[in-house]
Amino acid sequence: MRGLKSIAAFYVNRDAEVFWLDLGVLGLKKTRSSERYAMYFKKIIEWLVEYGLNPERYVVSEHVLRYQLQGDPPRNALVLAVTLSHKGRVIYAVLASFTPGVLIILSSRFRNAGWKSEFLLDMAAERIQGYSSTEE
pLDDT at 129: 39
Q: Does 130 or 85 have the greater pLDDT score?
A: 85
Q: Which pTM was predicted?
A: 0.83
| Helix, coil or strand: residue 25 | helix
pLDDT at 127: 42
**What would the mean pLDDT of 9-26 be, rounded to a whole number?**
95
d(Cα 95, Cα 77) in Å, to the nearest integer?
12
How far is C-alpha 15 from the geometric centre of its chain's CA atoms?
18
